Structure formats: C-alpha cells, structure tokens
Amino acid sequence: MLIIDLVSDGSPLKNLEGSIGKSRVTISKTFIQICNRIAYFLGGYFTDEGFLDNLKNENRLSDNDIEKARDYINGKFKHTLMRNK
C-alpha cells in the first residue's frame, strides 16, 4: 500500500528509493505486480488482451498493428514514458 500511496502522489521512483529503502527495480517490479493483480480482478478491458481488443475495434487496426502493440506491451520498455524531441 505504501508504494501505491507514494506513486499516486506523483513521486518518481528515484525519490521512492530513499523513502522506503528499496531499489527502483524492486519498487517497479512490485508496482507492476500490483497493477497486474488489480487488472486480473477487474478483468475485461483492464487486461492487456482486453485493452488490445478494444483498441483494435475502436481504431480499426489490423492484426499486424495489434501484434506490434502486443510486442511493445511485452517488451522491457513498456513502462517507459515515450517523449517526442
């Protein structure tokens, strides 16, 4: 619950390291596990496949587009904010 509280306040992971005495990697993995559990219990749209189905239907995406999105979701950079330069 502490991780959720701190993340919900907008604290960056770097700041959380000092607050709770765990590494960013441990905090990140724990947060991802919590999010996955919540998504599992909510089901449907909140799961990766439910989200992809909704994305495909709303945007008329091809199977190839969905496969690229699935690869991104399963990739190691899925929780990285993408910024345009």
Residues 6+ apart with CB under 8 A from 16: 3, 6, 7, 22, 24, 27
Report the length, in residues, of the chain.
85
Whole-number pLDDT of residue 81: 58
pLDDT in tens, the chain (85 residues): 888 888 888 877 778 888 888 888 888 888 888 888 888 888 888 888 888 999 999 999 999 999 999 988 888 776 665 555 5
What are the boundaries of each domain within the chain?
Answer: 1-42, 44-85
Global pTM reads: 0.57
Distance CA 84, CA 73 (A): 19
Residue type, 15: N
Measured CA distances, 19 to 2, 25, 44, 66, 79 (Å): 10, 14, 35, 39, 21
**How confident is the model at residue 48, as a pLDDT?**
85
In contact, 73 and 48? CB cutoff 8 Å: yes
